[in-house]
Amino acid sequence: MFGIGMPELIIIMVIALIVIGPQKLPELARSLGKGMSEFKRASEGFKQAMEESAKTVDTKEETTKEAADGEKAHE
């Protein structure tokens, strides 16, 4: 997980508990979880859009190549 081991994670959590306080920490964790979830969904959507775009370009290139080959055959 980003090269962070268990000891480092525990230290970060203790510091967060001291700085933020026990009342706000669960709310902050929920907000962080929701943000990460939204980021993951957005990145997956972007990846799918890029793959679809690449497929469309490949299809257009194949169609253009086939049309050019067809014209050469008629000459």
Q: What is the pLDDT of residues 35-45, one digit of tens each?
A: 999 999 999 99
Please state the domain extents for the chain: 48-75
Residue type, 22: P
More confident residue, 8 or 67: 8
Find the helix packing angle between 25-74 and 6-20, rounded to 10°: 120
- d(CA 51, CA 38) in angstroms, rounded, equals 20
Full-model pTM: 0.56
- d(CA 38, CA 33) in angstroms, rounded, equals 9
Q: What is the pLDDT of residues 44-56, one digit of tens each?
A: 999 999 999 999 9
